[in-house]
A and B are shown apart, each in its own frame.
Chain A
């Protein structure tokens, strides 16, 4: 593969043996492998440096160990073969599935939500930033606005020491050298910086005014800010953080204690915003079942989720099986055409089905009310019960082709002897169906029905595209409605549909859904003994 010039037979054999000893697949795959590992290691090194800088020790250890393991697996040729084949998929599985599950569990035990997103240090800085004032009688720093690494920087001259220093929103002031001064004593140019002209400062005045350069690492020291670009002033928060008291202290001596629930408290007991995220134990779970404002809608949503999933499986299976039996008649012609037409809903993209049916069911203009029902104004999607009915109808449309396909396959595998025996014994067609066909069909189909239940339990797309969960419950502040199922409730509580983000509660609901689906699937599969036939 690698040699281009013709070689003698002997040379070729030697080369082949050599290549085989280093890598079974030849030279180019080896080069390819090393190149990929190189890119990976470079990325890992960069990430490690960033994490080191942020003092994120846990993540740093994970990156270093993970990268080391990958190198150990892939560098030595012909060793750890199973690991070589499993590792690429496992990396993704571990990060975006296993880690995501663990992280979900962790979030479920915290108060992460709007106002409690930051960590404690960032929250302190944010609280202080809201209460800043220019320090009275503070000196004016001669300054210039400059650009470096795509960020705006402030270059200033200390009025007392005449030292030149620079800083940005993320970088506290640090001394710089090589600053050229203008006639008025203001910075004009500096090494490594592009100083903005007056016209540029005017053009970017909003960005310039948003510059807040911390004077030191400690937010209590305040920061420099400018409005014109040519002179900067010290701003300091009227409240500071007292590490000994673990509380914020106002300039007048008022103490804002840490309430223990991820925020500082005003003297009247209200919270200073923003707060930070803290662990709150099982509170999200207990709240979900005891806090009336959440528990009531949750119970209704849960009941509908079960009803929806079970009824969906039953209706689609009944229709699919009925059609399969009906078409299981060799003398009937043109079956192929019927089959192709009936598979269409299954091939049509699922998210579009919901949207198209939403148009058909539209109360004022939709085809069903206008044409089929001759101008009726039935609120198909906006009435709590009709909405549920509409969802079941659409899911029947979506799901019966699948059931039809699998039932047809299962029907054809029933041995003729069993049916003949029943006929000889004088069983009626109904008896044959109930006592012979159905039990025999259930052997291959039961696991598929359980999978279908699990799938429908989380059938977000159908619900969201058709009714978006509505109509809204009138008696709760939560953004939840009568056709919402648990998974769409998770999405809405997390605030991805708009409104308040409550990540802690949403994650707790996710865990509940997982426990329900997981245990039902487990019990079901154990019943059908699928797990026993593993491996």
Chain B
């Protein structure tokens, strides 16, 4: 590859622009740039096709998988209407359940993680280093491996507090919060450390207590990492199937989108396809909107080690 930098570093350390390049000929353009566009277009088709397909399928009036193969041949929004009409498959209820479960989990995760990260970053206490280490180690055992234990645990807790037993959406949120500390805290801890502690000391001299320092000073300065952790947590519980299916999967009214939409197609793929596609398109809106909105923060967070 004959990449030529458009800038170069001069001997005195300043960055200087190279003199403008002469326009390249078509053959050279093809060799240097053109093929890249070709591969880029292939990559874009590969990336975007399934999404275009599902949007097209959701608008297809035939209702079936077979009929969905002719992209955008006919357009109708019947599937979107029918989605909300089947009382045995309460899509609207699933949607609300999912938004509440994922939303409450995300907000609580950010809060629990942030206060823990604040303690690790700003306070010195016995077992601090050990605590950080153990948080990382505990996370090596993902919660979904403990699904049997969680099921039996909730069955038992449900005997004492029926509102926290199997079938309870609140119980599912509490289970998800078991993973609130861990990688999140670690990400936040790193970010908190970049906020100079002279800021809190100045506030302390002015008479601010620890709570005020945390809520009014630190929390504002670390907003980007809070957004990243909140989004990752939201998407994580939005997509979660294993634990959700065991905890709230038994009754149509308590299910989440992941469980409900899976059941839509696992029984009769062909005949339910269009209505499923409509459900999928609507379901994808909140996480994709959040993702695009917070995109620049996420890319920074990803390189810091968080995996979807």
Residues of A within 8 A of B (CB): 20, 23-25, 29, 43, 46-47, 50-51, 78, 81-82, 85-86, 88-90, 92-93, 95-101, 103-104, 107, 112, 323, 326-327, 329-334, 338, 341-353, 355-360, 362, 364-367, 370-371, 397, 401-402, 405-406, 409-410, 416, 429, 444, 447-448, 451-452, 454-455, 458, 460-461, 464-465, 468, 487, 490-491, 494, 496, 503, 506-507, 510, 513-514, 517-518, 521-522, 531, 534-535
Contacts and interface: CB of A to CB of B under 8 A. Distances in A.
Given A81-B123, A100-B149, A342 B177 contact: no
Contacts of A99: 149, 153
B112 to A, nearest CB: 4
B219 interface: no
Contacts of A362: 65, 269-270
Interface string B35-46: 011011001101
A415 B179 CA distance: 38
25 contacts: A24-B210, A24-B212, A47-B160, A85-B119, A92-B181, A93-B182, A98-B138, A99-B149, A344-B48, A346-B308, A348-B284, A348-B287, A349-B284, A359-B269, A402-B307, A405-B303, A416-B5, A448-B305, A465-B262, A494-B148, A503-B152, A507-B148, A510-B146, A510-B148, A534-B129
Interface in B251-273: 258, 261-262, 265-266, 269-270, 273
Contacts of A461: 239, 241, 258
Interface in B273-308: 273, 276-277, 280, 283-284, 287-288, 291-292, 295, 299, 302-303, 305, 307-308
Nearest to A404: B43
A458 B180 contact: no
B76 interface: no
Contact of B150 (A100, A346, A447, A535): A100
- The 6 A-B residue pairs with the shortest CB-CB distance in the complex, in nearest-first order: A24-B209, A96-B178, A25-B211, A85-B119, A89-B112, A100-B146
A327 B40 contact: yes
A96 B175 contact: yes
A126 to B, nearest CB: 17
Contact of A341 (B9, B48, B129, B143): B48
A521 to B, nearest CB: 6
B128 A535 contact: yes
A332 B36 contact: yes
Interface stretch (B50-58, B88-96, B220-228): B50-58
B87 interface: no
A460 B144 contact: yes
Interface string B116-151: 101100010100110111001010111111111111
B207 interface: yes
A29 B12 CA distance: 58
Contacts of B291: 343, 346-347
Contact of B36 (A85, A329, A356): A329
Contacts of A465: 241, 262
A435 to B, nearest CB: 15
Contacts of B276: 355, 359
B148 A107 contact: yes
A228 B302 CA distance: 68
Contacts of B210: 24, 78, 81
A97 B141 CA distance: 8
Given A82-B123, A107-B149, A351 B261 contact: yes
B10 interface: no
Nearest to B299: A405
Nearest to A343: B295
Nearest to B258: A351
B116 A448 contact: no
Contacts of B150: 96, 100
B195 interface: no
B28 to A, nearest CB: 11
B115 to A, nearest CB: 4
Given A97-B178, A342-B43, A397-B47, A496 B147 contact: yes
B6 interface: yes
B185 A409 contact: no
B33 interface: yes
A59 B276 CA distance: 45
Given A341-B44, A458-B144, A513-B145, A349 B238 contact: yes
B19 to A, nearest CB: 15
Given A51-B160, A342-B47, A93 B146 contact: no
A366 B50 CA distance: 12
Contacts of B47: 341-345, 397, 401
Nearest to A330: B6
B302 A323 contact: no
B39 A323 contact: yes
Contacts of A103: 146, 149, 152-153
A20 B209 contact: yes
B212 to A, nearest CB: 6
Nearest to A432: B1
Interface string B1-30: 101011001000000000000000000000
B66 interface: yes
Q: Which of A86, A344, A454 has the most chain B CB atoms inside 10 A of its CB?
A: A86
Nearest to A409: B303
A89 B113 contact: yes
B302 A348 contact: no
Contacts of B36: 326-327, 329, 332
A481 to B, nearest CB: 14
